Amino acid sequence: MTALLFIALVAAGFAIARLFNRVARLERWARVLQDRLNTLDPDLARPLQEPTPQTAPLPPPVVRAQARPAPPPPAILAPPEPPEPITPPAPAPSPPTAPAQPARPAREPVRLGFEAIVGGKLPIWIGGAALVLSAFFLVRFSIENGLLGPVARTIIATLFGIGLIAASEVARRIPATRDDPRIGQALAGAGIAILYGTLYIAAALYDLIGDLTAFILMIGVTVAALGLALRHGPPTAIMALIGGFAAPLIAGFRSAGIGPLLAYLGLLVAALFGLAIRRGWVWLALAACGGGFAWVNLLIATLVAKDLAGVGAFVLLLAIGATLALPRTGAARPWLRLLPLVAGLVQLLVLAPALDFGPLAWGLYLLLSAAALWLGWRDEALAPGAAAALGLVLLLLAVGLDRHSATAPIAAIAITALFAIPGHLRARTNWLWAGIALGGTAGPVLLANAIGHQLLIPLGWAALLALAAGASASLSWRDRSSARPEHIFLPALTGGAALAAILSMVALVELLPIPWRWPAWLAVGLALAAWAHRSKDGSIALLAPIVVAATGLAVVAGFFELGDYLGSVIDTEPLPPVADLIAIGVLPPALLVGIARLLPRGRTAMGIEWIAFLLALAFVPAILPAPWHAAGLGLAALATIAGRLPRNKTLVALAAMVAAMLPVLVQLLELIGLSLSGDALPYNLLPPIAMVLRDLALPAAFVAGGLLLRRDALEVARQGVIAALAVAAIATLYALAKQPLAIATLPRFEAVGFLERAILTQAILAAAWALRARQPRLSEALLWFGLARFAWFDLGWFNPLFVTQSVGSLPLLNLATIHVGLIAAWLWLTKEDRRWRIATLGLVALAVAVTVRQATHGAFLTGDLGRTENWLYSAALLGLSLAWLARGIQSGAGDLRVAGLALLTLVTLKVFLIDASALAGILRILSFLGLGIALIGIGWAYGRVIGKAKTISDAAET
C-alpha cells in the first residue's frame, strides 16, 4: 500500500509541476498579448467601466471614432479610412450597443493572474489526491479495527474506484462542472489509481486472485485508463502509463511466460504511442519508450540467455516504432526523434554479449542499423542516427572479434555492405554520409585486421585492404570538383584520400618486411602528393607530409633493424646487404624528392627536401668501405658545389666530410702540438701516409677543385672553407715532410734533424716568395709562418747550440750557415719593406757568427766558448761592419751605414771590454787607450763621410 501511495504522490507531483509550467506560459502569453493590444489601441490599457444610463443611447463606435484622430500613431488611423460608417445617425436607438458588450468580456481571459489560475486549478488536483488518500486511510482504518475482511475491503475499494470514474463522466455532463474539465480529470485519475492499488492488494497481499487473472484485470484497467485519457487528458494518461508498466510486476510476469509479457508490453507501448499521436503528447511517447527500455534492462538482468531472443526483437520494434511515432506527436527536433533509435542501438549493444554474439544478436543489430540508414535516407535531419549506428556497430564488432565470435567475420562483411553502399551513394549530399561511407568501407576490415588477424593469411588481408583502399580512393576521385586551395577538410575528397592511404599502408605491412615497407609507404605519400598536385586541393597537400612523418616514426620504432646500415654509415662495419642499400639508401631519397617537387613550395616541401638530401648523403658512406668514407663525402661535397645546390646543403656536406676526416686530422694536429712543445720524435706517432692521403688530402683536393671550378660558390662562407682546407693541407704536408728522413730515433735526430727542419722552413719561404705577386696575403702569411718556425725551433726548442745536432763539417758550406743565409736572402728580396731590411741585416750577422761557431767546433755546435773563437767573432763581425759601412757609403744607403756603424761600435766595445779583459797591467791600459782612440777615429771618419755626402747633396740642389 505504501508503494501505491508513493506512486500516487509522484503522479500528483508531476501533474502539479505541469500545471505550474502551464501557468507560467499563460502569464507570459497574457503579457505579450496585452502589450500588443495596447500598441494597437491605447484605450485598451484603461480600466473597464460599467455603462451608465446617460451614455447608453450613444453608440460606442461613435465614441471610438471621435477618439481615434487624437493619437498620433498613423497605424491606428489607417484602418478606419472614411468616416462614413460613423456619420449616419439613423440607427439611433441603443440596441447597436448590444454587439459591443460581448466583446469586452472576451478580453478577460487575457488578464488572468496567478491567483485566479492556481486558485482555480490547484485545489482540484489536491482534492483528487485527497480522494486517493481517503481510500487508502479507509482501508487502513478497517484493517486496524478489524471491521472488514479482505474480500470486503477489496470489493469496497473496487467500487470506490469505479464510482470515481463514473463521477468523472457525470462531471463532464452536468452543467455545473462540464465547463471545467479539471474536475473530471481529477476524479478519473483518482479512480484509475485506486483500481490499480486494489488489484495489487488483491493479488500480492491477500491472494484473492491468481497471477493470470490479476494480469488480465490489469490489462483491462490500463485499456480503460487509455480510453479515459482521450477524454480527460494527461493525468489519466500518466496513471495509465504507470499502471500499465507496473502491472506485470504486480501480477508476476514469470508465470505467464516471456512471450505474453513482451506481447503485452508491445501492445501497451503501441497504445501509448497511439494516444500520444492522437493528443500530440511528445512527453507520453518518450515516457512510453523509456518504460519499454526499463523493462528490457530488467529482463536482461533477470533472464537467462535462451529467453532473451524475444527481448531483442522487442527492442528492435520499440526503437523503430518510437522513432516513427515521435514525429507524428509533434516532436520537431532531430535529436529528440533520434533518441529512441540510439537508445535501441545501445540496448542491443548491451544485449549482444548475453546472446553470445550469435546470428540473432547480429541480425537484430543490423536490422536496427538498416532502419537507421533508411530513416536517414528519407530525412537528412536523421542522418546522425545512421552515423551513430555505424559507430556502435563497429564497437560491437570489436567486442565480438575480441571474444572470438564465430559469426563476427560474417557480420563484418554484412556491416561493410550495409553501410558502405548507401554511404557511397549519398556521400556527396552530406558530410555525414561521406563519413558513413568511409567508416563502413574501412572500419570493419581494419578492426578485423587488428583484432582477428589470424582469420586470414597476409595475402588475403592485403587483398581486402587494397579493395577498401580503392573504394575510398574512388570516393575522393568522385568529389574532385570540390577541391579548393585552402586547407579545408572535405570528408569525401580529403577523407577518402586519407583513408585510402591508411588502408594502403596497412596492406603494405602485410606484404613487405620492415626495410621495404618504408619506401612503399613513401610511395603512398608520393601518390597523395600527385593527387594534391592534380586536384589543386590544399587539404590533400597536407596528407603527404603526414605520411612522411608516419614513415619517420616507423623508422624510429624499428631503429634496431637499421643496425647493419647505420654501422656501415657511421662506423667501420662492412657493407650492408644490397636490399638494405636499395630500400633505405636509394628509394627513400628519390621518393622524397618527388614528394617535395609535387607539393606547393613552402617550409614543408623544403623540410622534405632536406630529409632526402641527408638520406642521400648518408648513402655515400654506406656504399663505401670505412677507409674511403671521407673521400666519398668529399666527392659528394664537390657534387653539391658543381650542381649549384643551396649553400646550406653544401655546408652540411662539408661538415659530414670534416667529420669523416676528423680521426686522422686530430691525430696529425696532436702530433704538431707535440712538436711545438719540444718532442723530437713525432714520427713514431704518425698515421700511415696512405691513410693521410686518402682521408685528408683527397677530400680536401675534391673540395678545392670545386671551389676553383666555381669562384662564386659558398659566398660568405668561402673564406672559412678555404681556411679549413689550409689546415688540412698543412697537416698533410707535415705528414709528408716527415716521411723522407723518417726520424724515429735520437741518433737519427742528431744526424738529420736540423736538415729536416731547414728543408721545411726553406720550402715554406720559397712558397711565400713564389706567391708574392698572385697571392700577396697568402705570401705574407707563409713568410711569417716560416720565420716563426725558424725562431721557435731553430733558435728555441732545437737550437743546435744546446741540442746535439749535426750541421755539417765543411766551413761555410754547412747547414747552419746556409740555412741562416738563405733566410736572410729571402728577406732581402723584400727589401722595399724597412722591417724586413733590418731583419735581413740581423740574420746576416747571425750567419757570420754561426760560421765562426761551426769553424771552431765542427759538425756539432755544442761546447764551450774558447779564446780563439771569441777573437774570431770580433774579427769576423768587425769585417762585416766595415763592409756594411763601405757599401752604405758607396750606395748612399743610410740604414746600411747605421747598421755598420752600430755593429762596429759593438765589436769595438766587445774587443776592448771583453776580449781584452784577460789582459793585465800595461796591456790593459793600452787596450783602453786603443778603445778610446778607435772610437774617436770612428766618429771623426764617419762625420767626414756624412759631411761630404751632405755637401754633395747641397751642391746638387743649387
Mean pLDDT by 10 residues, the chain (958 residues): 42 52 69 72 54 45 42 42 44 44 42 44 53 58 63 79 77 68 69 69 70 71 70 69 69 61 75 76 81 82 71 80 76 73 80 76 84 84 85 89 88 92 87 90 92 90 94 91 85 92 94 89 94 91 93 85 78 79 90 92 90 91 86 90 86 89 85 83 85 89 86 77 84 85 86 88 89 83 88 88 87 88 85 73 87 86 79 80 78 74 79 64 59 64 58 49
The residue range of the domain holding 916 is 869-957
- Give yes or no for a contact between 771 and 782, defined as CB atoms under 8 angstroms apart: yes
pLDDT at 56: 43
Q: How far apart are CA 208 and CA 206, in angstroms?
A: 5
Query: For residue 838, is it within any domain?
Result: no
- Give yes or no for a contact between 538 and 486, defined as CB atoms under 8 angstroms apart: yes
For the record, the C-alpha cell of 602 comes out as 613552402
Q: How far apart are CA 126 and CA 577, in angstroms?
A: 93
- Give yes or no for a contact between 526 and 598, defined as CB atoms under 8 angstroms apart: yes
189: β partners: none
Q: Please say which residue of 256, 274, 309 terminates a domain.
A: 256
CA neighbor of 870 nearest in space, from 918, 832, 826: 918
Buried b (16+ CB within 10 A) or exposed e, 36-57: eeeeeeeeeeeeeeeeeeeeee
pLDDT at 451: 92
* Helix%, strand%, coil% for the chain, nearest 5: 80, 0, 20
pLDDT at 531: 93
Cβ neighbour number for residue 269 with a 10 Å cutoff: 24
Three-state secondary-structure class, residue 318: helix
**Whole-structure pTM over 0.75, yes or no?**
no
Q: How far apart are CA 824 and CA 845, in angstroms?
A: 10
Q: Residue 873, exposed/middle/buried by CB under 10 A (0-12, 13-18, 19+)?
A: buried
Q: Which residues contact 18 (CB under 8 A, 6 or more apart)?
A: 234
pLDDT at 95: 45
Query: How does pLDDT run across 722-779, given as a tens digit for each residue?
Result: 888 888 888 888 888 888 888 888 888 888 888 988 998 998 889 888 888 888 888 8
Rg for the chain, CA atoms, rounded: 58
pLDDT at 118: 45
Q: Please say which residue of 196, 223, 256 terminates a domain.
A: 256
Query: For residue 185, is it within any domain?
Result: yes
For the record, the C-alpha cell of 448 comes out as 578485423
Q: How far apart are CA 474 and CA 492, in angstroms?
A: 10
Instruction: Calculate what percentage of the chain has a pLDDT beyond 90.
Output: 13
- Going along 201-274, which residue ranges are E strands? none
Quickly list DSSP for 661-712.
Answer: HHHHHHHHHHHHHHHHTT-S-GGGGPPPHHHHIIIIIHHHHHHHHHHHH-TT
For the record, the C-alpha cell of 15 comes out as 501533474
Helix residue spans in 201-210 (DSSP H): none
Q: What is the DSSP letter of 254?
A: H
Query: For residue 76, is it within any domain?
Result: no
Q: How far apart are CA 819 and CA 814, in angstroms?
A: 8
pLDDT at 116: 44
Cβ neighbour number for residue 924 with a 10 Å cutoff: 14
Query: For residue 208, is it within any domain?
Result: yes
Q: What is the mean pLDDT of the chain?
A: 77
Query: How does pLDDT run across 99-150, given as a tens digit for each residue?
Result: 444 444 443 444 444 444 444 444 554 555 555 556 556 655 665 565 567 7
Q: Please say which residue of 256, 283, 312 terminates a domain.
A: 256
Query: For residue 293, is it within any domain?
Result: no
Q: What is the DSSP letter of 381?
A: G
pLDDT at 687: 86
Query: For residue 405, is it within any domain?
Result: no
pLDDT at 109: 43
Number of domains within the chain = 2
Q: How far apart are CA 9 and CA 719, in angstroms?
A: 97
- Give yes or no for a contact between 668 and 696, defined as CB atoms under 8 angstroms apart: yes
Query: For residue 139, is it within any domain?
Result: yes
Query: For residue 430, is it within any domain?
Result: no
